[in-house]
Structure 1
Amino acid sequence: MLAAGRVILKVRADGSDHSIKGDGSPVTLADTRAEYILLKALQATVPDIPVVAEEAAEAGHIPKTAGAFFLVDPLDGTKEFIRGGTDFTVNIGLIENGLPVFGLIYVPATGRFYEGEAGQGAWAADIDCNQHDIFADMDKSPIAVRTAVPQNLMAVASRSHRSRETNAWLEAHNVKETVAAGSSLKFCLLAEGKADVYPRHGPTMEWDTAAGHAILSASGGRVVNLDGSAFLYGKADQQRPYLNPGFIAYGAGYRAA
């Protein structure tokens, strides 16, 4: 992930045009170069676990995923990256039986790193990808969700994708304060206890959410569909493979529908 982070920062420093994919979202040289690095690393270390990566999957290269598989987003928050912001991430999530059991998120622009594993907990650390090659000897600190006060909820919402439905939800649920964040950092804010709930009514893909979902779950939070049912992964056979429904992510003390 550190190597992917370095490539992403170098592409931005060098300046790079972007193109528009069929779904209207942007893609840059940083996306494709970072994905190549991540796929090569995963193939070398865990060759028996298939990988569903954003750019490859959207080009039609979708492996069979009967058991465990990785979901990889090499550059989550491409719009933020193009604008010159810092809220873009590298995401790796491991799925088993439809559920995210392990997640890694790295923020190249700030050096913030998040890790979560089912049954083990979640941690955060700071590491500069231009100064380190591996995640070794990091001073990792445990992170956990906070207990919400229902009458004083703080919500985290998208910096660039907030829908009318989400705005209506925030008003209907008496949300007192909203903090904006890009990419999978919305899950991380919940996992660190800096917000209470993240409603998402607009479209996302499984690689957008898997790593953050794993980290949030490991820190004591949950992600459910808008109707309160289980939010599952591996939806390869639907009309648009790996498209997520709307969801609610939350920490402790919040009761979903």
Structure 2
Amino acid sequence: MTLASPALLDGLILAAIEAGREILDVYAQPIAVSRKADASPVTEADERAEAVILAALARLAPDVPVVAEESVAAGRIPATGERFFLVDPLDGTKEFIAGNGEFTVNIGLIEHGVPVMGVVYAPAQGRLFAGGPDGACTAEVVDGRAGPRRSIVVRALPPSGVTVVGSRSHGSDSMASFLQAFAVERFISAGSSLKFCLIAAGEADFYPRFGRTMEWDTAAGDAVLRAAGGLMTRTDGTAFLYGKRNQAEDCDFANPHFLAAGHPSLIRT
């Protein structure tokens, strides 16, 4: 039986908005940056947002493990079974530091390896995206309150060429080579998990990723995309699953390269 329900989604949305308040409080001040063991940047906003989300999830689903980025970096890694949350309290820390607004709060629920519910919130833009068993939606957040939710679905494949979305901070020669086989009409650079949401909202079509990501980077956006009718696979077209532990080729929760698309014909193997 799934844990995903309208009531849980409402709770995740409120948690994401509350975490966004903490982030914007730090964003309005000079930002102090430190480095984690892997040399990636971390700020006070990451830590404050994660604390808010962990407290909320402890109230909403106290028996469900939470794999959260900053907790994992500190060595706090719970056992994961058939159901767990993946949290990236501030995806796009480089965008946060740069001040371009393309950073997000991410909360995803995984069941049997599949993201069944997710919330992505871009606090500097006031854009919120959510997805679950009842479909995907978006809402504007003003003064810390979400407005009316509007359903979103992926769009039909455009006849003139596809709109590809890619990372602003992590470009790839492999992706450029891969895209030569496609009729690309437009390329949008975007930070963080917003790339998934642009496809889910029908504003883009394709997001191939040939750079390294972790499960908490993708789970929430993947859930929104799937709820909107899109799909995400490994680059060979096989299922993209979560809860990857004891990987011979990489650390726990590391992702393989992937293809995220609004239309299945874009997944070519």
Q: Take 2:91 and 2:264, find their aligned partners in 1: how far apart are those partners? A: 29
The alpha-carbon deviation at position 236 of structure 1 amounts to: 2.4
Q: Take 2:259 and 2:203, find their aligned partners in 1: how far apart are those partners? A: 16
Give the match for residue 110 of structure 1: 125
Q: Take 2:90 and 2:121, find their aligned partners in 1: how far apart are those partners? A: 10
Are residue 241 (structure 1) and residue 252 (structure 2) matched?
Answer: yes
Partner SS for 1:75: strand
Give the match for residue 124 of structure 1: 138
Are residue 146 (structure 1) and residue 160 (structure 2) matched?
Answer: no
Q: Take 2:144 and 2:223, find their aligned partners in 1: how far apart are those partners? A: 27
The alpha-carbon deviation at position 16 of structure 1 amounts to: 2.2
Give the match for residue 159 of structure 1: 168
Deviation per CA, 1:169-188, whole angstroms, max 9, x where unpaired? 12232322101111000000
Equivalent position to 2:74, from 59, 68, 80: 59
Q: Take 1:211 and 1:101, find their aligned partners in 2: how far apart are those partners? A: 9
Partner SS for 2:184: coil
Q: In the alignment, is the contact (CA less than 8 A) between 2:65 and 2:79 conserved in 1?
A: yes
Give the match for residue 197 of structure 1: 206
Q: TM-score w.r.t. structure 1 length? A: 0.94
Are residue 179 (structure 1) and residue 188 (structure 2) matched?
Answer: yes
Partner SS for 1:125: strand
Q: In the alignment, is the contact (CA less than 8 A) between 1:220 and 1:251 conserved in 2?
A: yes
Q: In the alignment, is the contact (CA less than 8 A) between 1:149 and 1:253 conserved in 2?
A: no
Give the match for residue 17 of structure 1: 32
One-letter code of the match for 1:65? T
Q: Percent identity over the alignment? A: 52
Give the match for residue 250 of structure 1: 261
Q: Take 2:81 and 2:144, find their aligned partners in 1: how far apart are those partners? A: 39
Q: In the alignment, is the contact (CA less than 8 A) between 1:102 and 1:211 conserved in 2?
A: yes
Q: In the alignment, is the contact (CA less than 8 A) between 1:150 and 1:253 conserved in 2?
A: no
Q: Take 1:43 and 1:169, find their aligned partners in 2: how far apart are those partners? A: 43
Superposed CA RMSD = 1.3
- Structure 1: 4+ residue segments shifted above 3 A: none
* Unmatched segments (≥5 aa) in structure 2: 1-15
The alpha-carbon deviation at position 13 of structure 1 amounts to: 1.0
Partner SS for 2:165: strand
Q: How many residues align?
A: 251
Q: Take 1:233 and 1:45, find their aligned partners in 2: how far apart are those partners? A: 21
Q: Take 1:167 and 1:27, find their aligned partners in 2: how far apart are those partners? A: 29
Equivalent position to 1:26, from 41, 44, 51: 41
Q: TM-score w.r.t. structure 2 length? A: 0.90
Deviation per CA, 1:51-83, whole angstroms, max 9, x where unpaired? 000010122211111121000000000000000
* Unmatched segments (≥5 aa) in structure 1: none
Partner SS for 2:266: coil
